[in-house]
Amino acid sequence: MINEKRLAELFERLVRIDSVSRKEGTVSQEIRRIFESMGAEIYIDDSGRHTGSDTGNLIARFKGSRPGAPPLFLNAHMDTVEPGEGVKPEFSSGVFTSDGTTILGADDKSAIAIIVEAMRMVTEKGLPHGPIEVVLTTCEEIGLLGARYLDYSLLEARYGYALDTFDTEAIITRAPAANHFRFTVHGKSAHAGAEPERGVNAIAVAARAIAGFTSGRVDEETTVNIGSIECAGATNIVPDRVEVRAEARSHDPEKLARVTDGIVGSFKRAAAEFPDRDEAAGLPDVTVEVENQFPATNIPEDHAVVRIAKTAGKKQGRELVSKKTGGGSDANIFFSKNIVTGVIGTGMREVHTVRENIRLSDMVKTVALLVEIIGVASAQDKGSK
């Protein structure tokens, strides 16, 4: 029987601990104390020197009771988005919310509470299990940085689960790759009222570039978003610099490459063909930076990750379905490191807003599913794929 009161109390305690990205140290210490009391071996890697966090990723290793079972990987992230300081959780009619001035932090502290409660059940009841590696990352919300700089030499598991979505009746098996763009458009300043013709308007160049490609949903597999346009200056000055940040995502790597080329090409053409160019100064000009934020994931239906989760669901009378998502998570980075990671839900809703909420009953369901997954996984052998 799942201890709902203990689960709820732990979740409330965790969300009250501030842990916005790069400030996960205090919550990491609390989680470390809990896992050590359960007999886990704890490791904190040195990723903080790369991410800027005040701590590294936390790895809790539980020895297996089933010889020959392959190690299982469980993941959540410790950081939250803003406004995430001074969270005051409220609980009414079975639902957790904040007081409306901050996010709640169910993304992703519901996952941490669920993993802790599942491991408590496994250890307290002496349930059979293989080796389990719990990996709690930092800085997930600002570019999956903790997972990027995780010390993978500390891990043996080749498959497992990230708890970082809302749907408790699904396993995410497909997620897109994403490219991040930063375009810096260089123009020429001038007095906008007295001699505008002497200037080169960087904002006008950027506008032409953005108008040259499709944003939003490109097709069922591909999206493009203009995230920010920044330009400091007064209305009476022709702007000489603007920075545009954007992203493109696709489940198809070839489509992502084509869309990327199209976006970059649009900015370059807008600069080269701008009608008010200052040829002598070589303006406008554009600086282009493209970074792959994360690779795509695509887990076959016959992989152990999918089979184990669906078998565990059936044991509880549930039919888990495989789904694809448009979002990215630590699972994308793990997949690129040959750790096949399915994503399962905790029930968190309206994340990244002050309306964020989660039902305790959904968290309980996911604890039960996770305990079942651990049991099914323990019956596998090291050759299972």
Residues carrying an active site annotation: 79, 140
Per DSSP bridges, beta strands 72-77 and 132-137 are: parallel
CA 20 remoteness from chain centre = 14
Per DSSP bridges, beta strands 95-97 and 177-186 are: unpaired
One-character DSSP codes across 168-232: TTEEEEEE-EEEEEEEEEE-B--BTTT-GGG-B-HHHHHHHHHHTS--EEEETTEEEEEEEEE--
DSSP 8-state assignment for residue 366: H
CB–CB of 200/274 below 8 Å? yes
Residues in Cβ contact with 16 at an 8 Å cutoff, skipping those fewer than 6 apart: 87, 88, 89
One-character DSSP codes across 98-121: --SSS---HHHHHHHHHHHHHHHH
| Amino acid, res. 374 | I
Closest CA to 12 of 98, 124, 115: 98
Give the C-alpha separation, 362 to 4, whole Å: 11
Closest CA to 269 of 206, 321, 328: 206
Closest CA to 161 of 40, 365, 30, 329: 329
